[in-house]
Structure formats: C-alpha cells, structure tokens
C-alpha cells in the first residue's frame, strides 16, 4: 500500500469552534471520540505566528483531552482524519509556522510520515528537535 493511500480514508468530523486564533474539532473512530485543537501560541522573534497542533482521545468522565499515544488502534484512519482537518485549517488560515510534539516512538513514526506528506503538499520546510520537556518537536515553516 502506498503511503498516501494510508491517509486517504478519513472519517466524518465536525469543527466545534473556529476563531482567528483557535480551532477545535471532534471526530470518532469506532467507539472512541477524538479532539483536535490548533491554537495560535505566540509570535516568534521575527513576528511569525506559531501555531501549536494537538490531538488526543476525548476523556469520557472529565471531558478533558488525553494527549499521547492512545492505544486504540485504527491509527491510519485517525491520522487520515487529523490530516483532513489540518487541510481545512491550512487552506483557511494559511499559517507560516505549525508545531507539534510527540513523546512516544510509535507516535513519532506516524508524525514523521504525516509531516513529510503535509510539507510536500503545502510547501513547508521541516525541522525537528526537542521541546523543553525532552519530547520530539516538529516544526513546519512556510517556504
């Protein structure tokens, strides 16, 4: 199976909130609900807007997001949906920088794939490093 085909089967999703500096959306794969948030964090020293993207399982009791590895399976459909939601965001906001982090090796492998596809599709330069907590930091900057 080609890498692009892996990310071609998103599920239905709903943007529950969109503003100039924060987008929040929900979707479900099977019985598991997920939340995606893309938030304007700050401007860097060159006045470039820095957007932070996170997603995770929506908490059933506290309604808080759990980020990190979900262990629910269906990672390709989850990432296909997150990718489609990212497409909506990029087409509307046209960000110059997007960042996200990953702690777990399995999530890092998926992010490595995701970032290559997104960077090529939207003409971003990609860099990786470590955040202040030692997690892998992914940065995409508009060329």
Report whether CATH 3.40.630 matches the domain 3-142.
Answer: yes
Reading the block at residue 141, the tokens are 């900057």
Cβ–Cβ under 8 Å, residues 124 and 140: yes
Spans of all domains in the chain: 3-142
SS3 content of the chain, % helix, strand, coil (to 5): 30, 40, 30
Residues 119 and 131: their CA atoms lie apart, in Å, by 20
pLDDT in the model for residue 16: 96
Question: pTM, whole model, 2 decimals?
Answer: 0.82
pLDDT per residue as tens digits for the range 78-127: 888 999 999 999 999 999 999 989 888 877 887 888 888 889 999 999 99
């Amino acid at each position: 199976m080609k890498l692009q085909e892996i990310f071609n089967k998103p599920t239905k999703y709903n943007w529950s909130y969109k503003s100039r500096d924060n987008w929040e959306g929900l979707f479900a794969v099977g019985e598991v609900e997920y939340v995606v948030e893309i938030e304007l964090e700050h401007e860097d020293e060159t006045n470039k807007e820095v957007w932070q993207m996170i997603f995770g399982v929506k908490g059933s009791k506290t309604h808080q997001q759990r980020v990190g590895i979900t262990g629910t399976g269906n990672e390709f459909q989850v990432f296909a949906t997150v990718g489609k939601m990212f497409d909506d965001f990029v087409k509307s906001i046209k960000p110059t920088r997007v960042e996200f982090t990953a702690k777990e090796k399995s999530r890092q492998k998926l992010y490595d794939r995701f970032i290559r596809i997104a960077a090529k599709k939207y003409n971003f330069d990609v860099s990786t490093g470590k955040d202040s907590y030692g997690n892998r930091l992914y940065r995409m900057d508009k060329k």
